[in-house]
Structure 1
Amino acid sequence: VLQNIKELGDEGWEYKLNASYFEIYNETVRDLLNPSDNTKGLAIRDNGTDQPYIEGLHSEVVSSVACVLRLVTRAESHRSVAGTDMNERSSRSHSVFVLRVNGEHKDKNKSVKGVMYLCDLAGSERLAKSGAEGDRLKETQAINKSLSSLADVCGALKTKSGHIPYRNSKLTHVLQPCLSGSGKALMLVALSPEEASASETMCSLRFAQQVSQTELGKAKAHSGDGTGSSGTATTANNTAQVTSLHNPRKRKHG
């Protein structure tokens, strides 16, 4: 992203990047950059389009890789982790890094915008192996339910259903822009090579197979004429830039 911005800067484009980082813990949205706001959790709002937003989510301007890495390190220190029988440091939430990009070419009176989501999904757990009890049990149930909701959304998209159940979980509601005609999605699946984890590995592979059969269609370009009105990007370079900035990368642990 930063390399593309540098190259486009030579063509007269100016870009501003803002980053946010949050987690979805027990169906509650928590700000990882401003944890003091996490008492009640943050609300997901809709603005009448397929672009839901998180009300009150903290955002910071970033301009370099080093700046982003410092932000990620700070956010990760606030993420919910705990030990189970399967993992000493198990992620108990889904975490989402959001990078918003706004570009403007003053001479051409053009503007573009894009959003990239990097989502680290907590892995689906079998209660018999994880030994989850109490709070860990509640967390496991929330994780498994949200992953099931993600599978339901992908299934509905695959069959081109008239109703896509984005709002069945906070995870799918937040990721709606990525899982609709507005954007594109890429999923990376992390698998364990250990024989003891064979059942979890097969479960992850089946999930990945289902997702791979989902077609989202052509992503929409978000551009304007500098007056606030929206339109279609007028050059191939602008369209490719906006499309690439919408690509989320999601990782599921087996």
Structure 2
Amino acid sequence: GNIRVFCRVRPMLPSEEREGERPSHISFPDEKTVELVKPDTEVSAPLLPFSKQMVMAFPFDRVFPGSATQAEVYEEVAHVVQSALDGYNVCIFAYGQTGSGKTFTMEGPPELDLGSPNDSQLGLIPRALQQVFMSAQKLQRTQHWEASGSTCLAIIYNENVRDLLSTHPRSNQASCQIKHKDGSTMVTNATRTTIHELLRRARKHRAVGSTQCNEHSSRSHSVFQLRITGTNSRTGVGSRGLLNLVDLCGSERLDESKAEGARLRETQHINRSLSNLGNVILALSQKAKHVPYRNSKLTFLLMDSLGGNSKTLMLLNVSPCEKNVGETINSLRFATMV
């Protein structure tokens, strides 16, 4: 179908190994299946023979173990990004509990310069931008295509959409024209440099709150949109594509996050938003007559790129730690519903 689902299990972190965290029993019988041994909750799992523990199998379009590199993951994603250049609306989003590696998959490690072209740690967003710009230049040289890009960058926090471009310093406005379209700011005539600068700003602006799950947990969805318009200068034939790259909030349950007060309200908003995304994807996969796009700001913003003739890729990120096994099973179940 038009919705594909990949699963990436991150490696154990050095800090987790130092603290004596135990890894879950996760295995990969083939490149499309994740198997997880669910410990018996009534008896200490190590005391049970392996056969008495429940083995759960989850099918995906592609799975990546902890040893998978950023380049190996992107190799499987590149053809979906190419579809945006071919005139399709594309949505790629990272889903998973806090600390499962979503932002690492989408951007790279926090200290990485997103504009550095050859770093092996670069995530999906900077790699996708490199691919788009290089493909556009090649089409210009070989097939007389004139391509232009415009970008919109938004974060969704507590069901409020915040446009990161509207606060762009005036001194930089000479380098890219700013215009408003459908209530959000589009940066047109976007160059590789202006886009990387926007990504750096987005990283700085995302609302970050401390939950018990992760001291650097991002509490806002980040939605990066790149509209690609191409025209063949000889034939006049044109195409329009849209690429959405989305880093979602953590998907943990309230009892796991130990959130209180304002943080509790945040978690409730996040869970509602993710639940609505699940409902939209489920409705699309079941070819339902009514798809509830308007039930959340996230699905409303992505409406053009979910369903219809669009292509959607969900990248489920999973923690390898045994202490997270409950959330891991929830995430795997959610993803295999899609």
TM over 0.5: yes
Q: Which among 150, 157, 161 is matched to residue 25 of structure 1?
A: 157
> Given the alignment of the two structures, is residue 6 of structure 1 paired with residue 133 of structure 2, yes or no?
no
Give the length in aligned residue pairs.
Answer: 194
Is the radius of gyration larger for structure 1 or structure 2?
2
The 3-state SS of whatever aligns with 1:196 is helix
- CA apart distance, 1:58: 4.2
CA distance in 2, matches of 1:80, 1:160: 35
CA distance in 1, matches of 2:149, 2:195: 10
Q: Which among 202, 221, 245 is matched to residue 118 of structure 1?
A: 245
CA distance in 2, matches of 1:97, 1:54: 15
- How does the TM-score come out when normalised to structure 1? 0.72
> Given the alignment of the two structures, is residue 61 of structure 1 paired with residue 157 of structure 2, yes or no?
no
- CA apart distance, 1:62: 2.3
CA contact (8 A) 1:32 1:79 kept: no
The 3-state SS of whatever aligns with 2:316 is strand
CA distance in 1, matches of 2:165, 2:331: 30
Aligned residue in 2 for 1:195: 322
- CA apart distance, 1:63: 2.4
CA distance in 2, matches of 1:193, 1:147: 22
- CA apart distance, 1:206: 1.0
Q: Which among 149, 164, 178 is matched to residue 291 of structure 2?
A: 164
Change (3 A) 1:35 1:81: farther
CA contact (8 A) 1:92 1:122 kept: yes
CA distance in 2, matches of 1:58, 1:126: 35
> Given the alignment of the two structures, is residue 100 of structure 1 paired with residue 232 of structure 2, yes or no?
no
CA distance in 2, matches of 1:56, 1:63: 19
Change (3 A) 1:128 1:121: same
Question: Identity of counterpart residues, as a percentage?
Answer: 45
1:1-254 correspondence to structure 2 within 5 Å? 1-10=132-141, 11-35=143-167, 54-64=182-192, 66-211=193-338
Change (3 A) 1:190 1:138: same
CA distance in 2, matches of 1:73, 1:2: 18
CA distance in 2, matches of 1:90, 1:61: 33
The 3-state SS of whatever aligns with 1:201 is helix
Task: Quote the RMSD (CA, aligned, Å).
Answer: 1.6
Change (3 A) 1:60 1:78: farther
- How does the TM-score come out when normalised to structure 2? 0.55
CA contact (8 A) 1:23 1:30 kept: yes
Q: Which of 1 and 2 has higher RCO (CA within 8 Å, sep 6+)? A: 2
- CA apart distance, 1:54: 4.2
Which 5+ residue runs of structure 1 have no aligned equivalent?
37-52, 212-254
CA distance in 2, matches of 1:109, 1:35: 36
CA contact (8 A) 1:34 1:58 kept: no
Letter in 2 for 1:145: R
CA distance in 2, matches of 1:72, 1:4: 20
Q: Structure 1, residues 192-245: CA drift from partner, whole Å, max 9, x if none?
A: 11111111111111111112xxxxxxxxxxxxxxxxxxxxxxxxxxxxxxxxxx
CA distance in 1, matches of 2:262, 2:318: 26
Q: Which shifted more, 110-119 or 129-138? A: 129-138
CA distance in 1, matches of 2:324, 2:182: 36
The 3-state SS of whatever aligns with 2:310 is coil
